[in-house]
Structure 1
Amino acid sequence: MTSLPGGSDEGGSAPEPPPLVCARCGVTADGPRPTWTCSVENGVREYFCDTCSRENLRAIEGRLDSAWW
């Protein structure tokens, strides 16, 4: 049996991205991706929630890895 072009076996819509999890406190973002702080540390992309970002603003601006916070 052959499917028509655009059928459901061709993937359809793009998969939903995984939820963001704060690398510092572990809180999970609900709904659409918020504007959290993104940091690349040791080649790994990490996200930090608004609260953790605000509490550690000086360290972030000073480019200290989160291990130093």
Structure 2
Amino acid sequence: MTSRTSPPGDGDDGSAAEPPPLVCARCGTPAGTPGATPPPTWTFSVEHGVSRYFCASCARENLRSIEGRLDSDWW
């Protein structure tokens, strides 16, 4: 008798899961292929413990708000 600790077909075949595609958290613009690093013009933010990326257009449009959240040590 064989014992399983997880249901069949649960994806536990030893392969690593492919990361989801990187998209802008504001407008949904894709950054490229899944697992790719964001372009250098994109902005990274951690909000309530969640990592978020913003495309260059959204970052430019909201620059004042983004900078307004920085501690005074940064400016």
How does the TM-score come out when normalised to structure 1? 0.62
Written as runs of structure 1 = structure 2, the 5 A alignment for 1:1-20 is 17-20=19-22
Which structure: greater helix fraction?
A: 1
1:15 CA displacement: 7.4
The amino acid of 2:43's aligned partner reads T
Aligned-residue identity in percent: 66
Partner SS, residue 54 of structure 1: helix
Among 35, 55, 65, the residue aligned to 1:59? 65
How does the TM-score come out when normalised to structure 2? 0.57
- What RMSD over aligned residues (CA atoms) do the two structures have, in Å? 2.1
- Unmatched 5+ stretches in structure 1: 1-9, 65-69
Q: Distance in 2 between matches of 1:50 and 1:16?
A: 25
| Aligned residue-pair number | 54
